[in-house]
Amino acid sequence: MFKDKKVLVAGGAGFVGTNLTKRLIDCGARVRVTRHNRDLQIHDAAIEVVNCDLTKSDDCARVTAGVDYVFMCAANTSGAGVMAKTPLVHVTPNIIMNTLLLDGAYQAGVKKFLWISSNTVYPALEHPVKEEEMVFGDVFEKYYCVAWMKQFSEVLCRMYAEKIKNPMKVVVLRPANIYGPFDDFAWETSHVLPALMRKVIERHDPVEVWGDGSDIKDLIFIDDFIDGALIAMEKIDCFDPINIATATAVSIRQALDIIVEVEGFKANIVFNKDKPTMISKRLIDTSKAEKLGFKAKTSLKDGIAKTIEWYRSRL
């Protein structure tokens, strides 16, 4: 699908954008990436780099010109700490970028546009959530701002896919918690798994865990997520949001046990229940993705080992 095609990766310096760019180059695509205030993490003569600000309509028009496919990976993201202190940081810049890039792609005649949503769009349910269980406004309270931003952006995607003349094909993914090489390991903005990996790699004593370690998540390795994104881009031709996850429940404590096992570190672990945490249980149904041929292949232990190996060699 992508060989010799012009493909835009918006947010090419970020975690998902970097890994996606590498894969698209392997697929033979002619890749254009955007960067704003971060340096690219990979360098390849095959990559066309465009410095721009996706909160400006002129820049969005410029980067989408002549492009066949768009992967919107640019986003303002962070972990539980930032989300608790400054929840609005996820709202305005993301809404503006999503709106302007969708419009730029539509005006440029892009064949298909992929946008990455989130599992925060779902209510606080105990069972594995299915795509049809997203209810507008019914979100976990701590996710209120980011979840509403994601829900509204999904509405925008549907507008361009269904509600206008000469619609554009738009694919919406709702991923599990993604981790892997090129992830964000900064203390202020990282998610739970890279934060724990860094604490163990740096031999913190004690290794502090936010909360009591019982929170349940679905953790997907970046290579598996990219597999799912490419399959969805190839096979979905109508507005039909899809979960990309492992369908496996893992507690934070179980994930930490695997990290210390991989590192061979006898950690002194303490749990800090005063620190902010998010939803206590998130299970994700992947039956729709499996019908398209997607199945996550990487075990959590293998994914953590690959990520730690990358971290040690790179950072």
Nearest to 297 by CA among 204, 214, 203, 180: 180
pLDDT at 267: 93
Q: What is the pTM of this model?
A: 0.94
Tens digit of pLDDT at every position of the chain (315 positions)? 999 999 999 999 999 999 999 999 999 999 999 999 889 999 999 899 999 999 999 999 999 999 999 999 999 765 555 556 667 777 999 999 999 999 999 999 999 999 999 999 999 999 999 999 999 988 898 889 889 999 999 999 999 999 999 999 999 999 999 999 999 999 888 999 999 999 999 999 999 999 999 999 999 999 999 999 999 999 999 999 999 999 999 999 999 999 999 999 999 999 999 887 888 999 999 999 999 999 999 999 999 999 999 999 987
pLDDT at 90: 74
Q: How far apart are CA 77 and CA 86, in angstroms?
A: 12
Fold of 6-183+218-247+284-298: Rossmann fold (3.40.50)
pLDDT at 307: 98
pLDDT at 101: 98
pLDDT at 86: 66
Residue 221: strand pairing partners: 179
pLDDT at 16: 97
Amino acid occupying residue 71? F
Joined tokens for residue 44: 């390849």
Q: How far apart are CA 188 and CA 130, in angstroms?
A: 32
**Cα-Cα-Cα-Cα dihedral of 171, 176, 179, 182, to 10°?**
20
Nearest to 131 by CA among 149, 154, 108: 154
Residue 175: strand pairing partners: 244
Total residues found in the chain within this entry: 315
